[in-house]
Amino acid sequence: MSQRMLEGKVAVVTGAGGGIGREIALMMSQEGAKVVINDLGVSVTGDGGSATPAEQTKAIIEQRGGEAVINTNSVASWTSAKGIIDTAINAFGRIDIVVNNAGILRDVIFHKMSEDDWNSVINVHLSGSFYVSRAAAEHFRKQESGAFVHMSSTSGLIGNFGQANYAAAKLGITALSKSIALDMKRYNVRSNCIAPFAWSRMTGSIPADTPEQKARVEKIKQMTPDKNAPMAVFLASDLAKDVSGQVFATRNNEIFLMSSPRPVKGVHRDGGWTPWTIADHAAPALKAAFMPLDRSGEVFSWDPV
């Protein structure tokens, strides 16, 4: 098609200095959007900082004929997140799309997780998604249009070892997105989530010590970051005007619509329950429908297609 999907739109992509964020920024630019590249250039754990990753993304966009500016504000505070959106307004005069992709990892088994491990991850992923979205919401409401795309994870949707902080943040983002979709529907504003699969810095810490672990890593390496960009572009476009409050998983060439929690089975008892009758009757009746203690890799057990 000759018409580009995001022609005339302005997008903010957080964490756009590399990996999935960079690929989303590049494809959005190719589809006609002017892009704010937000990135601090920190390590996976959130340490350090460098302008180089954002500059590299900007250079690629401009080499391909697109327009982009860089913002190095942190997403993890109300004031600095507002500055990210202000960059879009000051540079391009509007804001149409927000992609909440910025993230860090502090993986550690739950009973050894520190306060800083918890707070750092929650602040960037969950609070950061709220702060950036909230700053953009003022503009979206006034213009009665806009699209949010948030990055979730099967670590939160399903489960994983050593990621209580990350999983809690990522599942929380799905609830945040649904609330945004409900609250801002009257203003023609949409909000959706993507749970991406990709080999990047964020998955580079996956253990590869045993033959089984090595085989799993090799499968993940097949899933390059660019495979997630098409869904982000679509959800940001006017062609997705009827898609809101949803969670998608993108895995190589596969796209999945993920379920939201709903009642799966119920029991009732005249006169109410006691702890003893729950133990004797309710729990045994419900047990067959209990969710298993599985992990993402066990649910997505087949090779990427």
- Active-site residue list: 166
Q: How far is CA 51 from CA 10, 164, 299, in A?
A: 21, 30, 38
Q: Are 37 and 25 in contact (CB under 8 A)?
A: yes
- What's the rounded Cα separation, in Å, for the pair 103 and 156? 14
Side-by-side strand order, sheet with 189-196: 68-71, 34-38, 10-14, 97-100, 146-151, 189-196, 247-251, 254-257
Burial 228-266 (b: 16+ CB within 10 A, else e): bbbbbbbbbbeebeebbbbbbbbbbeeeeebeeeeeeee
- What's the rounded Cα separation, in Å, for the pair 203 and 116? 21
- What's the rounded Cα separation, in Å, for the pair 135 and 193? 18
Q: Are 18 and 200 in contact (CB under 8 A)?
A: yes
Q: Are 237 and 97 in contact (CB under 8 A)?
A: no
Please return the burial class of 103, using the count of CB atoms within 10 Å of its CB with bins 0-12, 13-18 and 19+: buried
- What's the rounded Cα separation, in Å, for the pair 280 and 297? 34
Cβ neighbours of residue 65 under 8 Å, at least 6 residues apart?
none
